[in-house]
Amino acid sequence: MTTFETYLDSHKGGALNDELTVVLLNIAEATRQISKKLRTSSLAGLTGATEITNVQGETQKPLDVLSNEIMLEACRKSRAVAFAVSEELDEEIQIHADGTYAVIFDPLDGSSNLDVNVTVGTIFSVIKAQAPDDTLKNGRGQIVAGYAAYGPQTSLVLTVGRGVQIFTLDDAGDYVMTTADARIAPETKEFAINAARRPSWDDVITAYIDRSIDTSGYNMRWVGSMVADAHRIFNRGGIFLYPADRAKPASGRLRLLYEANPIGFLVEAAGGAAIAGKIDILDIEPTSLHQRVPVIFGSKKEVTKIREAYAAAERAIEPA
Ligand code: AHM
Ligand code: MG
């Protein structure tokens, strides 16, 4: 049996040093605590909304606030963490003045699904950072990235740069490896998109979805928690799309630093692709902590079709 701890031990001296290992152990412990809070949230009255609005203009749920606090505590317990960046914080906050890493996280992704008992998750990434500006680096600089998916099972999914490992929380509270080296199948006939937003899609996305619907055997799934949609894709392939608004080509709903980048890093480590149009998500240079980007990821052949369609559309409008 390989536990999360023994897996991290096997990477010491390689991709992981002692300090990073402590950071990851504390993050794993935070996800255990969040998982526990979620299991009984209705009984504990942790439902509905608070009166607080976060920097995104979204009303926070009690569990958003609690999960954020639990993740911040994991950062405080880790001497090497210099900064924390969170969906629920206006700006980065300094944790330890002599730290060398930033932990960047969405403490509870998919929180609109909370009160209906549907899978939600915690997304995280760790980068080198000694000054506040270091938190605005492109996704290629991620050292580790992962997420916990809180569904019928609690899964912890991690990459230390190469390969993606999936751990499952057992009754004793141990994360036990259940998939070694998860790979995203290169081909798929399953797409995930919020079809109600069709009027805002650009021509590339509209044409891609229309073609998929017209081609026999294609299937659609949309959970409304990116973590849950991503987890399905790590397990059986697929493509996820939260595209730009046609009126604002660089926009989207999902945030670059703590949603798109960690998932993009995991997806590439599992042999898939993650783009924001013509460009890889991991190559986007961030300009602000809560920047939103178009997000398309999953099975490589399918994502490549969309990347090529964006490149062709751009060539078509270039002056002769
Ligand atoms: P959140 O971080 O506030 O929960 O928002 C992100 C979520 C993603 O998990 C999901 O893919 C998307 O928002 C769903 O958006 P929509 O409600 O438009 O379907
Ligand atoms: Mg989110």
Rounded to the nearest 10 degrees, what angle do helices 18-39 and 62-76 cross at?
Answer: 160
For residue 87, which atom of ligand 1 is closest to its CA?
A: 2
Query: What domains can you pick out in the chain, each with its CATH number?
Result: 4-179 (3.30.540.10), 190-317 (3.40.190.80)
Residue 3 pLDDT: 97
CA of 121 to the centre of ligand 1 (A): 11
Q: Confidence band (pLDDT; 50, 70, 90) for 13?
A: confident
Q: Which residue reads 């709903």 in tokens?
A: 253
pLDDT digits (tens, 9 = 90+) for 70-112: 999 999 999 999 999 999 999 999 999 999 999 999 999 998 8
The torsion angles phi and psi of 179, rounded to 5 degrees, stand at -140, 120
CA neighbours closer than 13 Å in the CB half-sphere of residue 151: 17
Residue 263 pLDDT: 98
Other Cβ atoms closer than 10 A to 217: 7
Binding pocket residue ranges, ligand 1, CB within 6 Å: 58, 87, 106, 109-112, 194, 224-226, 242, 253
Residue 97 pLDDT: 97
Calculate the CA dihedral of residues 46, 49, 52, 58 and round it to 10 degrees. Answer: 120
For residue 106, which atom of ligand 1 is closest to its CA?
A: 2
CA neighbours closer than 13 Å in the CB half-sphere of residue 318: 7
Residue 15 pLDDT: 84
